[in-house]
Amino acid sequence: MCSMFRGKKRNGSLMILAFIMLINAMSSGIIIPLLYPYSSKFGINPLGLGLLFASYAFFQFLSTPIIGRLADRFGRKPLLLMSIFGSFLSLALFASAQTAFVLFLARSLDGITGGNISVAQAMIADTTEGKDRVKGFGILGAMSGLGFLIGPALGGFMSNISLTAPFWFASFLAFLATILGAIILKETLADKTVSKQKSEPLFNFKAIALALLSPTIGSVLLLTFISYFAHHAVMIAFQTYTVDELKLNSQTIGIIFTFIGLVVVFVRSIGLQFVIDRVKSNRKIIKFSLLVSSISMLLIPLFPSLKVFIILIFIYVAMYSLIHPVLTSLISKSVNEEDQGVALGINQSYASLGQVLGPVSAGFISQFSIKLIFPWASSFLFVGFLLSYYMKGALKKANL
């Protein structure tokens, strides 16, 4: 890790960035298992719950390119701190809500300021190159996995105090991350790079759409959307299949989630580096991961047993955990230095779009059969596998 950051106290930057991603994931992990029990007090039904999830992802889709452009213009640190502080405010607002409208307002605010992931990725891109860049993204991913490992267990424990206690605690963690970031974190964007973005528009729908047509990054952005679409459809399938088909109780499901978190942490902290050192081709990693992920999802409804389900889910999680650090690295290496923030912001926008549409599509398909969601997700992952053959190395950097 020490070799990844030379000068400018880069070790400290990586440490605080890793902590911020841990806080970000812990906050989400704390919220997700308790969102329905808490929101149901305000009369929100399952359809309303889906819209509550979608409100966050939708506003994140709109905001991340703006935050990325601002980070390219004014520097990474202020935008990252603003995003984390927004999480603090939204979680506090959520915990203190008295009406359903305030719940939606809080989740929308969290989405609007939810650019911390793409800004943190841009800071990694500023300070690393080559394999170290992929490893840096992997470390951030591992912290996210650790947060999702700790968050649900912590939320469940604190809910014994009250349903609002976990949300207040998550808000406190976000505030703590803001203070530590302000004190410890160093700006990673050079002054000469900041000045280049003065004339660029903050937001441009056309630019987001046209980015898909870029021969350099278009296919990677589409893969981001496809993989997030499929994964968030799988998330809906997992929750409904384990309860309605496998008849698992909440304790058993919690144990499975815990081991899923362990798999994510292991793959993104140790496994990713191991694979990169031996495969030495980002595109081969993407192809293999998408293919195995697709096959594992296709097999689940064909073998309706708990043991097979757990094995296939763990295989899927291990393969899927490799995809996004590598895709993010490909995006980062394919754009100019001054466009890192906006490129990663656009990438996160396509991820957010997948987070909106994937669960919605899964919800419609579940009206016919829960089992159909798995082949539905599998089909998208297989399309991604086919698309990965069209990824090409950048002859020149994309201009955003």
Domains of the chain (ranges; CATH) run: 9-186+214-390 (1.20.1250.20)
CA contacts within 13 A on the Cβ side of 72: 28
Q: What is the DSSP string of 199-237?
A: TS-S--HHHHHHHTT-TTTHHHHHHHHHHHHHHHHHHHH
Tokens of 283: 């595109």
Q: What is the DSSP string of 119-161?
A: HHHHHHHHH--HHHHHHHHHHHHHHHHHHHHHHHHHHHHHTTT
Mean pLDDT of 360-386: 88
pLDDT of residue 13: 65
Cβ neighbors of 16 (< 8 A, separation 6 or more) are 180, 181, 184, 185
pLDDT of residue 299: 95
Which range (118-122, 171-175, 386-390) has the least confidence? 118-122
User: Within 10 A of 202 (CB to CB), how many other CB atoms are there?
Assistant: 13
pLDDT higher than 50, residue 119: yes
Nearest to 121 by CA among 18, 223, 270, 204: 18
Task: Please provide the size of the chain in residues.
Answer: 400
pLDDT higher than 90, residue 295: yes
Instruction: Please give the share of the chain, as a percent, with pLDDT higher than 70.
Output: 81
Which range (56-60, 235-239, 245-249, 393-397) has the least confidence? 393-397
pLDDT higher than 60, residue 191: no
Q: What is the pLDDT of residues 327-364, one digit of tens each?
A: 887 877 777 666 666 677 778 778 888 988 888 888 77
Report the distance separating Cα 15 and Cα 388, nearest Å. Answer: 33
Mean pLDDT of 152-170: 81
Q: Alpha-carbon Rg of the chain, whole angstroms?
A: 20
pLDDT of residue 10: 53
Mean pLDDT of 228-232: 91
Which range (132-136, 178-182, 233-237, 336-340) has the least confidence? 336-340
Give the three-state DSSP class for 375.
helix
Of 19-23, 104-108, 246-250, the range with the highest mean pLDDT is 104-108
Report the distance separating Cα 110 and Cα 191, nearest Å. Answer: 29
Q: What is the pLDDT of residues 69-116, one digit of tens each?
A: 788 778 888 888 888 899 899 999 999 999 999 999 998 998 888 777
Mean pLDDT of 284-301: 92
Instruction: Please report, for residues 148, 186, 266, 279, 347, the alpha-carbon distance to residue 271 in angstroms, rounded to integers and kept in the order given.
Output: 18, 29, 6, 12, 24
User: Within 10 A of 368 (CB to CB), how many other CB atoms are there?
Assistant: 9
Cα dihedral 167, 79, 184, 270, rounded to 10, equals: 70
8 Å CB contact between 293 and 320: yes
Q: Which residue has the tokens 């990965």?
A: 388
